Chains A and B, each alone.
Chain A
Amino acid sequence: MKGYAGKFLEVDLSSGNIRETRISEDVLRQYIGGRGLASKILWDRLGNRWSEVDPLGPENILLVLTGPLTGFAPGGRICVSGKSPQSNGIVGSTVGGEFPIDLRCAGYDGIIFTGKSEKPVYLLIKDSDIELKDASHVWGKGAKETVLTLVKEARKEFESRYRGRGLLKESSMLYIGPAGERLCRAAAVLAKWSHAAGYGGYGAVMGSKGLKAILAKGTGPLPEVHDAEKTMECINRIIKASLSAEFFRRWGTGSGGYAVGAETSSEPIMNWQEEWHDEKSFGVDKFEPFWVKKFWGDYGCATTCLKLAVINFGPFKGSITDNPDYENQAYLGPNLGIFKPEGNIYLTALIDELGFCGIQAGNLLAFAAELYQRGILTREDLGGIELNWGDAKAFSDLLKMIIERRGIGDVLAEGTYRAALKISKMKGVDVTKYAVTSKGIAIGAHGIRSEKDYPHYVSYPCSVQGGDHTSVAYIPLDHGNSELNSILYDSGVVCWFNFFSKEAQEALWGLMEAVTGWKITPDEWFNVMSRRILNIQRAVLLLGGPDLRWDPRIHDDVPQRWYEPLSRGPYSGKAVDKTRIEESVKEYYRAAGWDERGIPTTEELKRLGLDDVDKKLEEIRRALS
């Protein structure tokens, strides 16, 4: 089998048992890796009792999976998955860094964690030398201290164990911050200082398992490929295309920041009450004075779109983060009424430090601030915090209440959607209309009211990853913006920022063949392979549970907020048209092979060889009839 290390690690955190396991070539050929393989593993192991599995209980499975292209395609990433504590479905959440490369060089394509450890632990991998170690001393610690402590510890350990061979490079790691430990559903799985697999809430799953971190050092080569020469040729084509994207390389996704607000009018402003601003103080050039590193990339990346930002003076001194990227700029900036880079960098850095996802946390904070603005949450509810728009300090105080699960912080730790349900009950008013989420997942910072940004009417209602802006539903399904395309990158597992150009996208198919030896045509991918993954993800969303499940008639919709017209900017007066939403959702169902209720049809599932999924969905068909 080419392109794969060929082995996976299976770690039972309850017993401490660690073993190697293999997955058949047939399954890998069908599901590739990352998000695709996660769907297959989760369905096989939990599908039968999906609705009963508590995502934060010991029966959930945490998956950390690479794909065959990881390390070969520029921009190596790793996919984190499991039953999501946000959507109760499956989310493929990816993060960059060197960890996936080290894992593959150690001889593993991924790790499957089951059970729950009594005491905090971390997993230390040095090739096939693997052990669970006590993590009590870093439990409760933020990102920086956790990284510095554990990397140093691993270095010392290896120095004494592998004497006489010279310096070994440091281990790379994935880890959680206090947000994950305290089971906040907005918690991310982190890498480096500030990289995060944010969507899905897998930081909380790691926390629920008592797993603080995973460190890996691999000393072998990347897996053998089918055709080495062709592999390099494809890699070089992708690199060449990436290097020509000057604006994107320079400013990363932040290059769209000012434009999205000012031009396409689709940026969250004060919890999406508006989507337009023309605040020049938020232009890309205003972030540059804080960059101490002008290009920062992950393994093998040509784009290196990240920048290291540090604040060295003033009230926010000591803040360290990257860029911030567009999502963090938007969600922890204008969305909170913050229009100065310093405040935005400060909050982004704090979110990283505590181990939150910037999008989920920014969405949650703005939701709380709107409730305060409307007098629904009072200063007393907020433990004395005056949660005014633009006050970065007040938002940071609220974040601390959330990770300490103090007062209203305990409710907000459940994430925007669940908190909205609780607060509605507490206060006797419907606040779910201020929760800008889909399937329990905060919407990415790309609105649809102006219709000038890339997501469509069907994008958020029909995506199997809910509000995820990197995986949106789209018609036609084989379009470059469609989530079937995202499934390819998330299963590969590679960073799609190196694949914006047509040239690079084409080279990817060649790379897949050169690495694995499998001829996968776009036709097979879009009509068969990606659809299996899509349908498993759809099925588990419908099964949901145990606390929440999704009824397509109610939940295949955009957030209620977007039916309110925009009141400022060039698209003032525009709102989402309900009838058109209903029509396009139905159109998507047809295109995806789902029935008029949004349930995958027997015919489609059988065509894809997913008979067991079909059988299980009978429950849903009965319930929705």
Chain B
Amino acid sequence: MSETNLIWIYRDYQRCSGCRRCEVVCSIKHEGKIWPEASRVRVFMLIPGIEVPHLCSQCHDYPCVEACPVGALSASKETGAVLVDREKCIACGRCIDACPGKIPYIHPTDNYAVICDLCGGDPECVKACSEGGWNALQLVRGSAGYNAKLYARTPEEITRDLARVIYGEEIAEEI
């Protein structure tokens, strides 16, 4: 694995405008249509104003890959992305349970797990986000190592932290 090819998407939640352009371009790339619930990056808004782009962080130890009973998941040697073998996947959901951020999900109409594949090294979401000047998603070259896993958190956890900063304790407790 050549370390230089590894990429990682850093997220600055506070900068996310909630425009969902990342969802639009991701679903067009992977599904050929605008399909918010089938986008590999999904923007959660558990509280208005706090939008959380939720996507795989490529944990260094890949608990999802480890958990898969049928070997449908693997880590790309090229980019570090988690690759899903749709043919093998039995939609058991173990990868979801294993993921600290509950990031994978089962495709809305087909039975296989959906996980960000980093668009093979040139993520569309990052391009859309930086084109708009929001820069909530930024491409980082090289592995984030142990740090990557810190970003594998649930939308609830991230929202709670952010709500504290933006709205104060009271609203954060509502989550």
CA distance A98 to B51 in the complex (A): 12
B171 touches A296 (CB 8 A): no
Q: Mark B151-168, 1 if CB is under 8 A from A, else 0.
A: 000110000000000111
Does residue A566 face the partner (Cβ distance < 8 Å to B)?
no
B171 touches A304 (CB 8 A): no
Does residue B83 face the partner (Cβ distance < 8 Å to A)?
no
Does residue A166 face the partner (Cβ distance < 8 Å to B)?
yes
B38 touches A320 (CB 8 A): no
Task: Enumerate chain B residues within 8 angstroms of A294, measured Cβ to Cβ.
Answer: 15
Task: Enumerate chain B residues within 8 angstroms of A192, measured Cβ to Cβ.
Answer: 48-49
CA distance A232 to B38 in the complex (A): 18
Does residue B34 face the partner (Cβ distance < 8 Å to A)?
yes
Known A-B contacts A166-B96, A221-B27; the reply to A296 vs B33 at CB < 8 A is: no
Q: Mark B124-142, 1 if CB is under 8 A from A, else 0.
A: 0000000111100000000
A167 touches B21 (CB 8 A): no
CA distance A101 to B113 in the complex (A): 23
Contact segment of B2-10, B74-82, B103-111: B103-111
A228 touches B46 (CB 8 A): no
A166 touches B47 (CB 8 A): no
CA distance A135 to B63 in the complex (A): 42
B132 touches A169 (CB 8 A): no
- Mark out the residues of chain B between 1 and 43 whose CB falls within 8 Å of any chain A CB in the assembled complex: 14-15, 17-21, 24, 27-28, 31-38, 42-43
Does residue B45 face the partner (Cβ distance < 8 Å to A)?
yes
Min CB–CB distance A99 → chain B (angstroms): 11
Does residue A72 face the partner (Cβ distance < 8 Å to B)?
yes
Known A-B contacts A166-B105, A167-B105, A167-B155; the reply to A221 vs B18 at CB < 8 A is: no
Q: Is the interface of A mostly helix, strand, loop or mixed?
A: loop
A292 touches B36 (CB 8 A): no
Min CB–CB distance A24 → chain B (angstroms): 25
B46 touches A170 (CB 8 A): yes
- Mark out the residues of chain A between 272 and 326 whose CB falls within 8 Å of any chain B CB in the assembled complex: 292-302, 304, 308, 310, 312, 318, 320
A296 touches B174 (CB 8 A): no
Task: Enumerate chain A residues within 8 angstroms of B100, measured Cβ to Cβ.
Answer: none
Does residue B93 face the partner (Cβ distance < 8 Å to A)?
yes
B106 touches A164 (CB 8 A): yes
B36 touches A101 (CB 8 A): yes
Does residue A147 face the partner (Cβ distance < 8 Å to B)?
yes
Task: Enumerate chain A residues within 8 angstroms of B19, measured Cβ to Cβ.
Answer: 295, 297-302, 304
CA distance A166 to B37 in the complex (A): 11
CA distance A302 to B18 in the complex (A): 10
Contact of A293 among B24, B32, B49, B106 (CB under 8 A): B49
Does residue A144 face the partner (Cβ distance < 8 Å to B)?
yes
Q: Mark B44-75, 1 if CB is under 8 A from A, else 0.
A: 11111100001000000000000000000000
CA distance A300 to B34 in the complex (A): 10
A228 touches B33 (CB 8 A): yes
- Mark out the residues of chain A between 90 and 115 whose CB falls within 8 Å of any chain B CB in the assembled complex: 98, 101-102, 105
Task: Enumerate chain B residues within 8 angstroms of A27, measured Cβ to Cβ.
Answer: none
- Chain A count of residues within 8 A CB distance of the other chain: 51
CA distance A239 to B132 in the complex (A): 9
Min CB–CB distance B31 → chain A (angstroms): 7
Task: Enumerate chain A residues within 8 angstroms of B32, measured Cβ to Cβ.
Answer: 228
Contact of A144 among B15, B33, B43, B171 (CB under 8 A): B171
Task: Enumerate chain A residues within 8 angstroms of B106, measured Cβ to Cβ.
Answer: 164-166
- Mark out the residues of chain A between 5 and 34 whose CB falls within 8 Å of any chain B CB in the assembled complex: none
B49 touches A151 (CB 8 A): no
CA distance A595 to B171 in the complex (A): 57
Known A-B contacts A151-B46, A165-B93; the reply to A300 vs B104 at CB < 8 A is: no
B168 touches A312 (CB 8 A): yes
A310 touches B167 (CB 8 A): yes
A295 touches B134 (CB 8 A): yes
Residue of B nearest to A144 (CB): B171
CA distance A151 to B113 in the complex (A): 25
A147 touches B168 (CB 8 A): no
Min CB–CB distance A228 → chain B (angstroms): 7
Known A-B contacts A169-B44, A221-B27, A295-B134; the reply to A320 vs B34 at CB < 8 A is: no
CA distance A220 to B27 in the complex (A): 11
Task: Enumerate chain A residues within 8 angstroms of B171, measured Cβ to Cβ.
Answer: 144, 148
B132 touches A221 (CB 8 A): no
Task: Enumerate chain B residues within 8 angstroms of A300, measured Cβ to Cβ.
Answer: 19-21, 24, 34
Min CB–CB distance A229 → chain B (angstroms): 10
Q: Can you name 19 A-B pairs with beta carbons within 8 Å?
A: A72-B34, A102-B36, A148-B47, A167-B44, A167-B54, A169-B36, A193-B48, A221-B31, A221-B35, A221-B38, A224-B33, A243-B131, A249-B133, A295-B17, A295-B133, A297-B18, A301-B21, A304-B17, A310-B166
Nearest 6 CB-CB pairs, A to B? A166-B105, A221-B35, A192-B48, A295-B17, A297-B19, A165-B106
With A72-B34, A152-B174 given, can you name 20 additional A-B contacts, CB distance below 8 Å? A71-B34, A101-B36, A105-B35, A151-B46, A152-B175, A167-B54, A167-B105, A168-B105, A170-B46, A172-B45, A192-B49, A219-B37, A219-B108, A220-B108, A296-B18, A298-B18, A300-B19, A300-B24, A304-B19, A304-B134
Interface positions of B (Cβ within 8 A of A): 14-15, 17-21, 24, 27-28, 31-38, 42-49, 54, 93, 96, 102, 104-106, 108-109, 113, 131-134, 154-155, 166-168, 171, 174-175
Interface positions of A (Cβ within 8 A of B): 71-72, 98, 101-102, 105, 144, 147-148, 151-152, 155, 164-170, 172, 192-194, 218-222, 224, 228, 232, 239, 243, 249, 292-302, 304, 308, 310, 312, 318, 320
